[in-house]
Amino acid sequence: LMSSQYTNIIVAKPEPSVSLITLNRPKALNALSSPLFEELNKALKDADTDDSIGAIVLTGSEKAFAAGADIKEMQDKTYAEVFKNRFLEDWGQLAKIRKPIIAAVSGYALGGGCELALMCDIILASPTAKFGQPEINLGVIPGGGGSQRLASLIGKSRTMELVLTGRNISAQEAADWGMISRVVGEGEGQVIKEAIEMAKTIASKSQIAVQAGKEVVNAAYELTLAEGLRFERRIFHGCFATNDQKEGMAAFSEKRKAEFTNS
């Protein structure tokens, strides 16, 4: 797929170092169909291997980041089909991307849309954002990681409430619960603007250090504390093998701005 061949997403470069991926199925509130996810995975992989890109912003529309997995695509599937075809397993590819992914969320982030945001590294939300796991209303449960990621982020009681009642929460509630970084100021496009600014800042650092930082933070959600601390220290030690560590520390000592070469 060439980027011009995408029909469910739009890929742009708002800054030379930032890839902006916009989910673009407005008529279905960006419902995450299989073709959409295929395109998303391809675009993310391209951004990950493009040396000029330092960070990725993922966004939707003003009305919906994404209203969930595509219910019309799912409704007639049988157990045998979803089991044999490993339905939704390919969503996990997003978590293997090395470069940071910032979700810029406006409007509905429901079901798979909430889970997609949770798979990203940083979530910024506009005051209009609404998060929720309404799968219970469809006779199912979250299938894109929501139950697991929410439980480790916001705790058992709040996760149970979301998953068992299907109630939506506001951007502010999501921020108060520690699900997202923060709610940005009002105004159309503000959340995307701030996400691009943040991505640009991240892209200006040593990309080796950035990707190492992402890897160790993510390890905290998988490893025991002892294993995680050991892993972090090893990766920290590994940074001393890079030119960027020499440059970063020399620049500090010489009171000048570091010129990272990602080497």
Closest contact distance (angstroms) between CB of 55 and ligand CAA is 26
Closest contact distance (angstroms) between CB of 11 and ligand CAA is 23
Minimum CB distance to ligand CAA smaller for 110 or for 179: 110
Minimum CB distance to ligand CAA smaller for 54 or for 142: 142
Rg (CA), the chain: 19
Closest contact distance (angstroms) between CB of 103 and ligand CAA is 16
Q: What are phi and psi of 192, to 5 degrees?
A: -70, -40
> Distance between CA atoms of 45 and 41, rounded to whole angstroms?
6
> Distance between CA atoms of 55 and 98, rounded to whole angstroms?
9
CA 21 to chain centre: 11
Minimum CB distance to ligand CAA smaller for 148 or for 204: 148
Closest contact distance (angstroms) between CB of 123 and ligand CAA is 17
Q: Which residues bind to ligand CAA, rule: CB under 6 A?
A: 28-29, 31, 67-72, 88, 108, 110-112, 115, 134-135, 138, 142-144, 146
Q: Would you please indicate which residues are annotated as catalytic (active-site) residues?
A: 69, 112, 115, 135
Q: How far is CA 31 from CA 23, 70, 111, 194, in A?
A: 9, 5, 10, 24
Contact indicator for 44, 23 with CB cutoff of 8 Å = no
| Pair type for strands 55-59 and 101-105 | parallel
